[in-house]
A and B are shown apart, each in its own frame.
Chain A
């Protein structure tokens, strides 16, 4: 992993000098700001059971579905299309370092964008000064969930970019995979045909991979080790497949 930091810092730099990053950031923050204002308006009208942070982080899938493909679709597909993958892999760099470096850069940027939403809570604190609105529990749980689930979401984006030759296809594939991961779980969990006894192993696997349910647990302060393991192991798996996809394309191009 000698070159990991070189690639990581280079990729972060390239993301920071790219205007598209700022466009994505502005869209992300406006969308989240809009959601946040909407929540505050609801809260100002009538008292609610939950804290604003809880409702805010519940909308996590909105930016995930759009920002993750935007951040990751370029990383490997573009290198391959331009042919710079060839110059990159003829230096003493391994495929693993390239994939993990690019993954790391996308994750850093993703988390930076989410960290910027911390400003919303700061503004709320500065101007409302109502401690009931700022329950630290759901907030910490929410950010923790974003951080842990982001590992997997970004890895899925990198995988989509690794198997596609064009950015657009990678983006759409990433969107589809994220959609299936986030909403597929609750859809399958509700399906009656999975309730049969023979389907029991499948059913338990589906229950285990309920992203929306994980979110609920995190904001309630339940950090289950199995859920962490689910995200970490799936992330490793997605990155392994990305590395294999990049290498397979070298063998068969």
Chain B
């Protein structure tokens, strides 16, 4: 560890721009990632996720802006960066005609893992990624799930302080997704991880912070909970009740002043309707609503607070950014 490794954020990106033949793929992106954080990178196809990740690894030079990893600028000290970043590219290209253990040995040598430590380190990552049984199989004959895990094993092989993975869970079955999720979670605190994904619940479960980019710009960033508040700005309660629907808003008005109540037309045979109450109140209103309904003589079959998923946030944030772009 040199001086510049200490007390610096793991990744600092400021005003990053990348243009390809006049097309701006990444447009003025800035963000900071602290040591040991797990960051989720979200965005629709073509948003600039992969391009940003490639620039972070030093593989692709930026058009303008600066990136520094562990205090080293990527533009001038790419050698140092490459020693500190474990990278798994999109689609995870692998040589077809090598055995897993041979491939990891070769990669370990390229990544300057000392020969004496390499053998035990390979055993370790094979164990962690559940690849022990297939270590002597030829990569070209393995299924997608195995190949993804080889990519992950390879990224963590040299124990780099920063790990960048482009869609690590793509093509995995639910069982393997859980393994990968636990694996990434086990890196928390030790390594800084950036993962991109389309599977939003994945990001939500593993990541400390989420960065949503669209059209090359960061449209939202923060913890999943904060994003929910910021982007959607409201909480929804769904309830199935029966009674006099005309007096409903009056009955609920003293629970919280700012409630909007949507009562649908359709009614089932027993007189129940599914009512949606929307409020900007963050706290839990469920109990108060239930009490108010029962006091006013309504029959309640169910009441639940809807948890907006990251998917809703993602859709709202990307839609909002498109509105901004369209207006320009």
Contact = CB atoms under 8 A, between A and B. Distances in A.
Given A14-B97, A18-B97, A92-B79, A86 B89 contact: yes
Interface string B39-71: 000000000000000100111110000000000
Interface in A215-253: 250-251, 253
Interface of A is mostly: helix
A205 to B, nearest CB: 37
Interface in A176-195: none
Contacts of B106: 6, 10
A44 interface: no
B110 A91 contact: yes
Which of A82, A91, A93 has most B Cβ within 10 Å?
A91
Interface in A1-51: 2-3, 6-7, 10, 14, 17-18
B89 A93 contact: no
B94 interface: yes
A131 interface: no
A201 interface: no
B71 to A, nearest CB: 17
Interface string B229-272: 00000000000000000000000000000000000000000000
B83 A92 contact: yes
B283 interface: no
B109 interface: yes
Interface residues of B, number: 25
Contacts of B87: 87, 90
> Interface centre among A6, A10, A89, A92, by most B CB within 10 Å?
A92
B114 interface: no
Contact of B61 (A6, A93, A251): A251
A90 B95 contact: no
A84 interface: yes
A251 B19 CA distance: 11
A3 B110 contact: yes
A3 B87 CA distance: 19
Contact of B110 (A6, A14, A17, A82): A6
B61 A84 contact: no
B82 A90 contact: yes
Contacts of A83: 89, 91, 93
Contacts of A3: 109-110
6 contacts: A83-B89, A84-B95, A87-B87, A90-B57, A250-B59, A250-B61
Interface of A: 2-3, 6-7, 10, 14, 17-18, 82-84, 86-93, 250-251, 253
Given A6-B106, A86-B89, 12 more contacts: A3-B110, A6-B110, A7-B110, A10-B106, A18-B97, A83-B93, A86-B93, A87-B154, A90-B82, A91-B110, A92-B110, A92-B111
